[in-house]
Amino acid sequence: MAKRLVVLVSGSGTNLQALLDAIATQGTAVYGAEIVAVGADRDGIVGLERAERAGLPTFVRRVRDYATREEWDAALAEATAAYEPDLVVSAGFMKIVGKEFLARFGGRFVNTHPALLPSFPGAHGVRDALAYGAKVTGCTVHFVDDGVDTGPIIAQGVVEVRDEDDEAALHERIKEVERRLLVDVVGRLARHGHRIEGRKVVIP
């Protein structure tokens, strides 16, 4: 049985598109997973348009519509849980989830980050690596824990920084590597399962 994925987005959704394309090309049986819904923390983003174009149900839970961050987190968890996902993928989802979300999806909530963690966590991984003068950077696919980009690492991809790079150019090259990595990792998790041993992720 193909595993059920809910994908969370906040922006352009090119990582979501890469997953959609891989599933469409390979078929759910071969890839091992299907996307059952796409969630977001804001309206009017290209990521949601991509989901709608693919005929997928979407949901939006905006922080400002809730009295507290905890209520937002519970609402996001509830909306996600309604689709009974086996795995949840944060693909450019720019919010830190809270206790309730992690209680339900911890250990099966995957994030992709545009830097080589533990270097340059947070919302500006590309800009921070560039400003630091790093010569290589890349992307990290990891499980989410209760820190900011601190969870167990599943896979990483390396990208060289060029002298002429600005944030946009470097991010574009990172995203090329990132999309392939995410598609590969999610497929392997779906087909083979995984266990987390301390900080180590094992995909048998």
Residues making up the annotated binding site are 13-15, 69, 94-97, 111
20 touches ligand GAR by CB under 6 A: no
Residue numbers in the known binding site for (6R)-10-formyltetrahydrofolate are 69, 94-97, 111
Shortest Å, Cβ 1 to ligand GAR: 27
Pairing of strands 136-143, 3-9: unpaired
Helix and strand tally (H, E) in the chain? 7, 9
Residue 16 burial (CB count, 10 A): 28
Shortest Å, Cβ 121 to ligand GAR: 8
Residue nearest ligand GAR by beta-carbon distance? 92
175 touches ligand GAR by CB under 6 A: yes
- Whether 124 sits among the annotated catalytic residues: the reply is no
Cβ neighbours for 188, distance < 8 A, ≥ 6 positions apart: 203
- Which of 4, 11, 26, 119 is close enough to bind ligand GAR by CB under 6 A? 11
DSSP 8-state secondary structure symbol assigned to residue 161: P
Instruction: Tell me the residue length of the chain.
Output: 204
The position carrying tokens 């939006």 is 60
Q: Where are the beta strands (DSSP E) in the chain?
A: 3-9, 33-40, 58-60, 87-90, 109-113, 136-143, 153-160, 195-197, 200-202
14 touches ligand GAR by CB under 6 A: yes
Of 13 and 98, which CB lies nearer to ligand GAR in the complex structure? 13
Of 75 and 116, which CB lies nearer to ligand GAR in the complex structure? 116
15 touches ligand GAR by CB under 6 A: yes
Of 21 and 84, which CB lies nearer to ligand GAR in the complex structure? 21
Q: Which amino acid is at 112?
A: T
Site for ligand GAR in 99-128 (CB under 6 A): 112-114, 123, 125
Residue 146, token pair as written in the block: 């209760």
Residue 60, token pair as written in the block: 């939006």
What's the sign of the alpha-carbon dihedral 6, 10, 11, 15? negative
71-102 in b/e form (b: 16+ CB < 10 A) is ebbbbbbeebeebebbbbbbbbbebbbbebbb
Site for ligand GAR in 73-92 (CB under 6 A): 91-92
Shortest Å, Cβ 50 to ligand GAR: 9
Of 32 and 47, which CB lies nearer to ligand GAR in the complex structure? 47
Supply the residues annotated as catalytic. 113
List residues near ligand GAR by CB under 6 A: 9, 11-15, 47, 91-92, 94, 112-114, 123, 125, 175, 178
